[in-house]
Structure 1
Amino acid sequence: MAKKTAPAVRDALRVRPGAGLHLTPRDTPVGPSTKAEAAEDLVATGAELSELQEHLFAEARRSVLLVLQGMDTSGKGGTVHHVFSLVNPQGVHVAAFGKPTREELRHDFLWRVRKQVPAPGRIGVFDRSHYEDVLIARVDELVPREVWEARYTAINDFEAELAAAGTTVVKVFLHISPDEQRERLISRLEDPAKQWKYDPSDLAARAKWPLYEEAYAAALERCSTTAAPWYVVPADRKWYRNWAVANILLETLRELDPRPPAPGYDVAAELARITYADPLA
């Protein structure tokens, strides 16, 4: 099935050198203009995504890693739920990175990340990632400047290593506005079913919004490479966020064009056996 998406979503949302946060949280430079259009489009997108994921799994040579970053309430978990409900969960590995444990702190910052890299045939998803070590570590001054400065190069080297080993790295910044975040935080507090999602520390991070903007802009500028590009997805509208991430993933898999391996047996002979000599027939 060949679904046309023009202009390409990745081209429209890709971070290019010098651009930084080049989109506002409500820009929609490509794609549907309404929630209904996005929902209709996702039906076809999901069908093709599912087929390509199955081929990737069967091929079992390469993998895809989707990195999701964004401020609190930007929708990392919601994106995982909505986008990956379109495919077979058996072929998906999701890893969420929170505050490092004592054991993890005894190692290099990439140590815990390397253990979660998807195996061949899988699509891996990072809900937060190694970028926390140039975001929160920078904003909260958890390590000296020279330490987090050196991590940009370490990250680029790590992602180039993954690409060389057959893992296609796709990084998405879910770009939410302060006003939208405020509304979502209020919604969580007012709904007893969502109060578990709220943490008082969310407001402490919110108070540092300008510092986080600087940190994200630096990460996007310094770590959007040919091997592992960054994409800025406007995330104030949840339906557009889900549509954009699904189509970025779809275009990535199309480009990989995974193919199931040829059978290692005589198809005609096996068909004859089950047709004419089926022991249960």
Structure 2
Amino acid sequence: MAIPSIAAVRKALIAPPGKPFDLSKRDTSGREVFTDKVEAGTSLKKDAAVINELKDMLYAEGKRSLLVILQGMDTSGKSGTIKSVFSDTTPLGMEVKAFKAPSSEELARDYLWRVHNAVPRRGHVGIFDRSQYEDVLVVRVRGFAPLDEIEARYEQINAFEKHLGENGTKVVKFMLNIGYEEQGVRLKERLKEVHKLWKFNPGDLDDRSRWAEFMAAYQLAVSRCSTRHSPWYVVPSDSRTRRNAAIARIVRGAMEDMELKWRDPGLKPESFDFGEGRISS
């Protein structure tokens, strides 16, 4: 089978703005998008190379930026996605920010302060491992803020993302949708594999015990914050290869939509003396 088009992947995974959204009916296997896992790997490899070239063009232009948001339950593969989708990308012009529990300095300010402070500069690709959505997900499930404050945040986040778009930062959002059973398998892997042991946090099991609450919070966040200017893509994440391939398709498409071109400073070789044929001591 042929690699699905960017348009087809977008259509399959988007949470349509302004329409009802039911997270429980979303596939987590990824087979509906990439039936063949080998095909997914081939697609990923091709897109990773193109993303690198487009990133260089964005850096050379120096006028706009791209912000990729990765949000998902533990083990859904946020760091793995970054490693694979941007596997060919050189570090120049790349910014990665992982949001942990807020510090005392961050808590002393409004919840978007630390997020806005991490938005990529012009010419750069920024990647958020977790994001502003922690303040309507974990905060909602754990009751870390009054419900009326949390309710107000959805529109505040929409306005924030619209502001970014109107000021040159294109925002692309992915919810990494892993199934409950697959998450259990991956949590056990962290205790069995030496290179993953450091990732295991007993607190992850507490979050897992609140799975239904977290899924309800994700459904609400996606429903409220999938907008025309910044829609959500809900990506099946039980298969790492299919997940990465789908995200790479959409990231590539977002960058191609920017219609990037190599910046021409108007310099001509004949305008300069390169001292050819002479060696100065």
Partner secondary structure for residue 173 of structure 1: strand
Specify the code of the residue in structure 1 equivalent to 2:32. P
Tell me which of 75, 79, 82 is aligned to 1:80: 82
Contact 1:20/1:218 (CA < 8 Å) preserved in 2? Answer: no
Q: Distance in 2 between matches of 1:14 and 1:82?
A: 21
Partner secondary structure for residue 68 of structure 2: strand
Contact 2:51/2:86 (CA < 8 Å) preserved in 1? Answer: no
Specify the code of the residue in structure 2 equivalent to 1:203. L
Specify the code of the residue in structure 1 equivalent to 2:15. V
Counterpart of 1:123 in structure 2 is 125
Kindly state the Cα deviation for residue 27 of structure 1 after the two structures are TM-superposed. 3.9
Stretch deviating more after TM superposition (184-193 or 20-29): 20-29
Partner secondary structure for residue 195 of structure 2: coil
Specify the code of the residue in structure 1 equivalent to 2:36. T
Q: What percent of counterpart residues are identical?
A: 42
Runs of 4+ in 1 over 4 A off after TM superposition: 278-281
Partner secondary structure for residue 175 of structure 2: strand
Counterpart of 2:27 in structure 1 is 24
In 2 relative to 1, CA 248–280 (structure 1 residues): closer, same or farther, beyond 3 Å? farther
Stretch deviating more after TM superposition (210-219 or 42-51): 42-51
In 2 relative to 1, CA 4–277 (structure 1 residues): closer, same or farther, beyond 3 Å? farther
Root-mean-square deviation (CA), in Å?
1.8
1:144-223 map, 5 Å: 144-223=146-225
Counterpart of 1:277 in structure 2 is 276
In 2 relative to 1, CA 228–280 (structure 1 residues): closer, same or farther, beyond 3 Å? farther
In 2 relative to 1, CA 278–49 (structure 1 residues): closer, same or farther, beyond 3 Å? farther
Contact 2:176/2:237 (CA < 8 Å) preserved in 1? Answer: yes
Stretch deviating more after TM superposition (46-55 or 153-162): 46-55
Partner secondary structure for residue 119 of structure 2: coil
Counterpart of 2:39 in structure 1 is 37
Counterpart of 2:265 in structure 1 is 263
Q: Distance in 2 between matches of 1:266 and 1:170?
A: 38
Partner secondary structure for residue 96 of structure 2: strand
Q: Deviations over 1:130-183 (max 9, x none)?
A: 000000000010111001101101100100000000100000000000100000
Kindly state the Cα deviation for residue 6 of structure 1 after the two structures are TM-superposed. 5.6
Structure 1 residue ranges without an equivalent (≥5): none
The number of residue pairs the alignment matches comes to 275
Kindly state the Cα deviation for residue 262 of structure 1 after the two structures are TM-superposed. 1.3
Counterpart of 2:227 in structure 1 is 225
Q: Distance in 2 between matches of 1:41 and 1:53?
A: 18
TM-score (norm 1): 0.93
Structure 2 residue ranges without an equivalent (≥5): none
Contact 1:173/1:230 (CA < 8 Å) preserved in 2? Answer: yes
Stretch deviating more after TM superposition (18-27 or 255-264): 18-27
